[in-house]
Amino acid sequence: MFSIASNTEWTIAGTTDWCTVTQNSGDGSASVGIRVSANTTKLERSTTLTIVGGPLSSTIVVTQKQDDALILTKSTENLDHTAHTIAVTLRSNITYDVIIPSDVNWITEVKSKTFDTYTHNFLIAANKDYDPRSAVIVFKDKNSFVSDTLTINQAKLNGIIISNPDVSVGTAGDNITVELRANVEYEMIIPTATAEWITPMTTKGLQTYNHTLTVAKNETYDDRTGYVIFKDKQTTLADTLVVHQTAKKGLILGAKTASLGSEGGVVSVELRSNVAYDIIMEQGASWVTKVDSKALTLYKHDFAVSVNNTYDQRSMSIIFKDKNSALADTLVISQAQKDGLILTDNRVDIEAAGGIIDVELKSNVSYDIILPAGISWLTQLNTKGLTTYNYQFNVAANTTYDQRSSQIIFKDKNSTLADTLTVNQAQYRAIVLSNKNQTMNNEGGTFSVQLSSSVSYETIIAEGSSWISDITTKSLNNYTHEFSVSANNSLEERVGKIVFKDKGSSLADTVTVTQAKTGVLLSSEDKFYVPKAGGTCNFTLFTNVEFDVSIINGTGWITQLATKSFNSKQYSFVITPNTTTSDRLGKIIFTAKNASGADTIDIKQSAYDGGFIHINQSQTAGSLVPQTDRATLKKLKIEGFVKAADFIFFRDSLPVLEELDLSEANIENNNIPGEAFKTISPAVRTLKSFIMPSSVKTIGAEAFYGCTNLEGIDLPVALTSIGQYAFSGCSKITEITIPASVNTIGGYAFSNCPLLDYVKSMLTNPFEINNVFLDINDNADLEVPKGKLSLYESTTGWGYTFFKRMFETGTDPDASVVLSTTSIKTIGKASTGSVTVTSTSPWTVYSRPDWISTSVNGAAGNETVNLEFAANTSEGSSVRTGKIIFKVTGSGNKDTLEVTQYTNKYADKDYETRQTHTLGNGIDVVFVADGFVLDEIVSGEYDQVMDQAITHFFDIEPYTTYKNYFDVHVVYAYSQESGCSNLLTTKNTALGVKYTGAGSSTSMSADNDACFDYAESVTGVNLRETLIAVVPNSTRYGGTCWMWSSGEAIALCPMSSSSYPYDFRGVVQHEAGGHGFGGLADEYVNYDTETIPADEKLSAQTWQALGFFGNIDFTNDLATVRWKHFVGLTGYSYVGAYEGAYYYGHGVWRPESTSCMISNIRYYNAPSREQIVKRIMSRSGGTYSFSDFQSKDVMQLAPPTKGGMITFDKSKALAKPVLVNGSPKRK
């Protein structure tokens, strides 16, 4: 019940079928009751009631708890007698126990590593008894009597056993008696072939288990064998009586090979023989044994194959041999080889100068800290440990003129529980103009001034500037002012000022406005067209202002000859020859210096290698081609407007013209005139190439008649009509495509073209034509649109009278099927692939192995066929091959795809955990190799490299001692090409690793995003606390580590073939162990006489503040140096301060004379070992103590006898690590 206080009409919305009110509407105050029905569901439910009265509203949220329940998705599980693992799904909203009766030892619960606590797995042992059994599993609420039960029924082991399964009878026949033991109802089955000579004398009664059979006399000359099967009526359980009757000797196996999965089984072999024989099995093959089953005759043998627990495929031979001769047959058996959150303060306000803020968090969950993307002024100074809940964030100084705000979210990793800290920072106080000088042309106009200010101000337009007016008002925060400038009709320039002044102080800023005077600038020409050979452009310029001349896009090929003047003047510009293959466009711009006004002349120079002219409406081609050039002009390109009369000029005045390009011209009426290039013997037309504009619609009669040198013609897609005899006698044309838009073709249009052997018609509705293709090539082909062949065959003028073959687009008269590849290699896991079939005819999948399936079994043309490869369960490194034959329907033409499948069990991005931690919470280290192809992975080379890298990583202290804190994973990366990229060669590899320097340079890079993607294949990996060790497929010495201040690290470690200490081991221990996980600095010296610069020192100290570089310092004071706690300590007498480290000979010190971080030797100095151990303890959830470190510390090298600078091969110095502030920028 609730009360409504109102002086107006009201209504209630939001009721449901389970939540209703006693009154849905009313006028004035009222008391309203809420009715809620029982919740019989297993989910909590809620609804919101909204009371609306006029413009006001109020809400009431009604929430109802769920009905507690514990429900199994099934109550009974019926199983056969074999072993099983069953999954039981439970729906529950309460905590509960799983109870298995104490006397039921054949059911055990298998604990799952998944996070789904409502699915239970149970292992059911095989029932080896001849009686069925049953048990009940109880799922019970821990706090009440709510429960549900699962009944598991398991069938008995069925049996049918013949006491004497193999009987031999002489040729004369006889009666035989069969004794049978069974615990199932069965029937006796005599196959048809056997029933001809073996008949039962009695039938089985309810208690009768002896059967008498009559064997007739064998009248043939062949031994014979009969079978009497005693079979369970409900299952496949059976036993067989084999009856042999005594001819021509023979010994034949029904199958000569048998393949089994790794789980083993029984191999049954049928043998036809009438001689005594031996079964000879390979020595040492104890995994196959002969089973003398009572269900088998003398001529059928069962062999038991035990489970293959090895990782290699295996095979053996069994020989069935005549005891008295060399007659024999062999059976080969192959077996395959063997997964609450609260911030103390939710808001921090900070001044513009910035600073460090402390955040206190109380939490009992694991959580993430999420800073908004793109916010660089707010950074975290320390990361969350397992028990640390105090955080510091650095706020950079706000040098902008706006207040800014951001949020930091602390979020439960496993739910939506979160809390948010809001950080607000004040703006910088100032008045700043975005533009202090504004230039306007004489025509006036408007302009805007952007103003940033944190004070109250006023706008003052200076005296004498009345031609400037403020047309906008100040906004609330950032200010944009718009000003109007009236036209300057005078001949003088004018200047005005606008002052923006703080109302409470002298703070101000000023905009100066300069307006140009009125001027005149005009040229006599606006465009020139110049041939490839170049030329001169002459024009007149009229002006009354001082001006500048600029050349745009024409530098180097447009040159001015005349100088500018203030009066009317002739100008000339020289255009140099165009040596490029493209047209080029330039501009000559005349711009008034102190006033508005400009004029532009466009220059277009053709790249056409021949004559070039542009015809305007008032010109003709003849007026533009010099008389002196006509007799020798062979190539001509024309732009502009071509008239019908110009074709007469082309034909009659250009006697040696071979090429005419009108592709960028407009032809009068879009028509090639009739007889445009007609040639009558004995004259010879030299024209070889004619390029039409795409706009041409008609070609007149006899337009190209007799052009015996015309080598080809492309008809425009807009063409509608081809005149009679248009191309008749063009004896060099070999092919032609008729556009779909053509609706008329005159008679004999392509007649007498003896080389024309291919015609493609795009016409979807062919029309009758008259001898258009008379006397073309005798073997000419006609291609027509798909589905239109019958139309062309039945339409006059198109048929086989003129064409030897006609075919539709998409088909091929030379029917063939071509595969995009003829071989595929695939992994041993079930996988997929594809092949593209290219064919002009219908085709089918003619044959394929049973372990390969195809998405289609055939198609009518081109098709991408998806392939599915079943898992190769063969043991060891064996492979299997198969062929898929694709065959043209009704033809012998085919193509074959050969598939090779290996037995490797890992796909791309699959991973294998090589080591699991036994101490602490576990520290993930991911090893992945790059540049290895399928063959190299299958051969085991990939695994060998990974094993070597892992061995090297742990083969140095302190990693050897602390190895059990680590979880080591190997991720498989399949590359398209083998090897590693460098400056000269690019390899297509999964991670894109490459050498970035020339010669013996050691610097390297990779596709960091790809590295992270592969590492994230490992379940639950946290990149900020995971080293990614990448091994490229290269033996060239090198290596680089990429390190992010947020904790991510990628160590690139090639398989160096150099000798110790610059070998593969040295690279792994330096890059992966030293930099990548240890966060150590380089200690070698490149610059012996130089002192470390201040900026590099500051950078190193910044990283030291984040927990890196604990093995260098910038003081030699043993009382204050970072490793002072080692100085003078028993067992560490060799620890001191040795000048020279971090690339410089002076100003930076290292703790010992030698170390892996100098020359890759198998030794980290003591402070380096300590920093590595600190990281191990931090990441594994442990607590570091110096005394514990001392007790476990192992020094692998004897203490050095000399200090100071050590000598090493500088050419072998590994590249500096790439240090990146913040987190990786993922794509």
pLDDT digits (tens, 9 = 90+) for 918-942: 999 999 999 999 999 998 998 889 9
CA gap 657, 651 in Å, rounded: 9
Q: Tell me: pLDDT of 647 over 90.
A: yes
172, burial (CB in 10 Å: exposed 0-12, middle 13-18, buried 19+):
exposed
Q: Where in the chain is the domain with CATH 2.60.40.10?
A: 2-64, 70-154, 158-248, 343-425, 431-515, 521-605, 830-901
The average pLDDT across 1045-1049 equals 96
CA gap 602, 224 in Å, rounded: 105
Tokens at 578, concatenated: 């165009």
CA gap 1086, 1080 in Å, rounded: 17
Query: In the prediction, which pLDDT does 298 show?
Result: 47
Contact 1106, 1120 (CB under 8 A): no
Per residue in 941-982, pLDDT (tens digit) is 999 999 999 999 999 999 999 999 999 999 999 999 999 999
Going by CATH, does the domain composed of 521-605 fall within 3.40.50.360? no
Least confident segment among 28-37, 258-267, 558-567: 558-567
1061 preceded by a cis bond (ω within 30 of 0): yes
Fold for 158-248, please state it: Immunoglobulin-like (2.60.40)
Q: Tell me: pLDDT of 171 over 60.
A: yes
Q: Where in the chain is the domain with CATH 3.80.10.10?
A: 611-808
CA gap 1218, 1078 in Å, rounded: 15
Q: Where in the chain is the domain with CATH 3.40.390.10?
A: 911-1220
Query: In the prediction, which pLDDT does 1186 show?
Result: 95
Residue 447: band (very low, low, confident or very high) from pLDDT cuts 50, 70, 90: confident
Q: Give me the amino acid identity at 967.
A: D
CATH class of 611-808: alpha beta
Helix/strand/coil (H/E/C) assignment for every residue in 501-523: EECCCCCEEEEEEEECECCCEEE
Per residue in 241-277, pLDDT (tens digit) is 778 888 656 677 778 777 777 677 887 888 777 667 7
CA gap 174, 170 in Å, rounded: 8
CA gap 704, 752 in Å, rounded: 13
DSSP state of 550: E
Domain 830-901, CATH homologous superfamily name and number: Immunoglobulins (2.60.40.10)
State the chain's mean pLDDT as an integer.
85
β-strand partners of 912 = 970
The average pLDDT across 132-138 equals 83
Query: In the prediction, which pLDDT does 595 show?
Result: 61
Tokens at 987, concatenated: 């390899």
105, burial (CB in 10 Å: exposed 0-12, middle 13-18, buried 19+):
exposed
Fold for 343-425, please state it: Immunoglobulin-like (2.60.40)
Query: In the prediction, which pLDDT does 7 show?
Result: 77
β-strand partners of 214 = 175, 199
CA gap 109, 97 in Å, rounded: 12
> Which is more confident, 1169 or 443?
1169
> Which is more confident, 177 or 930?
930
Fold for 70-154, please state it: Immunoglobulin-like (2.60.40)
Share of the chain above pLDDT 70, in %: 91
Per residue in 8-17, pLDDT (tens digit) is 888 998 899 8
Q: Give me the amino acid identity at 249.
A: K
Q: Give me the amino acid identity at 986.
A: T
CA gap 1029, 1006 in Å, rounded: 12
Q: Tell me: pLDDT of 500 over 90.
A: no
Q: Where in the chain is the domain with CATH 2.60.40.60?
A: 249-338
Give the contacts of 794 (CB within 8 A, at least 6 positions apart).
none
The average pLDDT across 510-524 equals 76
Least confident segment among 382-386, 755-759, 766-770, 1174-1178: 382-386
Q: Give me the amino acid identity at 239.
A: D
Cα separations in angstroms, 1132 against 1191, 1198, 1200: 13, 11, 11
DSSP state of 1076: I
305, burial (CB in 10 Å: exposed 0-12, middle 13-18, buried 19+):
buried
CA gap 758, 398 in Å, rounded: 75
Q: Tell me: pLDDT of 339 over 80.
A: no
The average pLDDT across 145-162 equals 79
Query: In the prediction, which pLDDT does 1034 show?
Result: 97
1217 preceded by a cis bond (ω within 30 of 0): no
CA gap 744, 767 in Å, rounded: 8
Query: In the prediction, which pLDDT does 115 show?
Result: 35
Tally Cβ neighbours within 10 Å of residue 972.
Answer: 24
Regarding beta strands 174-182 and 166-169, do their DSSP bridges make them parallel or antiparallel, or are they unpaired?
unpaired
Alpha carbons within 13 A on the beta-carbon side of 269:
31
Tally Cβ neighbours within 10 Å of residue 950.
Answer: 21
Residue 596: band (very low, low, confident or very high) from pLDDT cuts 50, 70, 90: low
> Which is more confident, 362 or 931?
931
User: Looking at domain 2-64, which CATH architecture does it have?
Assistant: Sandwich (2.60)
Give the contacts of 1116 (CB within 8 A, at least 6 positions apart).
1137, 1139, 1149
Tell me the three state secondary structure of residue 1013. Answer: helix
pTM greater than 0.85 (yes/no): no
H or E element: which one contains 952? helix 941-954
Tally Cβ neighbours within 10 Å of residue 1026.
Answer: 23
Which CATH code of 3.40.50.920, 3.40.50.150, 2.60.40.10, 3.40.640.10 fits the domain covering 431-515? Answer: 2.60.40.10
The average pLDDT across 1140-1158 equals 96
Q: Tell me: pLDDT of 361 over 80.
A: no
Chain centroid to CA 184: how far? 58
CATH number of the structural domain 249-338: 2.60.40.60
Residue 916: band (very low, low, confident or very high) from pLDDT cuts 50, 70, 90: very high
Tally Cβ neighbours within 10 Å of residue 77.
Answer: 17
Residue 681: band (very low, low, confident or very high) from pLDDT cuts 50, 70, 90: low
Among the ranges 316-325, 444-453, 632-641, which has the highest mean pLDDT value? 632-641
CA gap 759, 443 in Å, rounded: 64
The average pLDDT across 118-137 equals 80
CA gap 1112, 914 in Å, rounded: 34
Indicate the Cα dihedral angle 1029, 1034, 1035, 1037, nearest 10°.
-70
Query: In the prediction, which pLDDT does 299 show?
Result: 61
User: Looking at domain 911-1220, which CATH architecture does it have?
Assistant: 3-Layer(aba) Sandwich (3.40)
Cα 240-246-250 angle, rounded to 5 deg: 90
Q: What is the largest CA-CA distance in the chain?
A: 144
Contact 662, 684 (CB under 8 A): no
CA gap 238, 419 in Å, rounded: 70
- Supply the DSSP string of 420-462, one letter for each residue: EEEEEEPPPP-EEES-SEEEE-TT-EEEEEEEEESS-EEEEEP
Per residue in 971-1026, pLDDT (tens digit) is 999 999 999 999 999 999 999 999 999 988 999 999 999 999 999 999 999 999 99
Per residue in 1184-1205, pLDDT (tens digit) is 999 999 999 998 765 443 333 3
Per residue in 212-223, pLDDT (tens digit) is 888 888 887 677
Contact 532, 606 (CB under 8 A): yes
Among the ranges 379-383, 779-783, 830-834, 959-963, which has the highest mean pLDDT value? 959-963
CA gap 1133, 160 in Å, rounded: 84
Tokens at 495, concatenated: 């200047």
Q: Is the dihedral of CA 218, 220, 225, 229 positive or negative?
A: negative
Per residue in 845-899, pLDDT (tens digit) is 989 999 999 999 999 889 999 999 998 887 655 788 999 999 777 444 578 999 9
Measure the N-to-C terminal CA separation of the chain; round to a whole number of Å: 57
> Which is more confident, 587 or 417?
587
Indicate the Cα dihedral angle 21, 25, 27, 30, nearest 10°.
0
Q: Tell me: pLDDT of 183 over 70.
A: yes
Give the contacts of 887 (CB within 8 A, at least 6 positions apart).
817, 843, 844, 846, 893, 894
β-strand partners of 836 = 864
Q: Tell me: pLDDT of 684 over 60.
A: yes
Q: Tell me: pLDDT of 493 over 90.
A: no
Residue 475: band (very low, low, confident or very high) from pLDDT cuts 50, 70, 90: very low
DSSP state of 1124: G
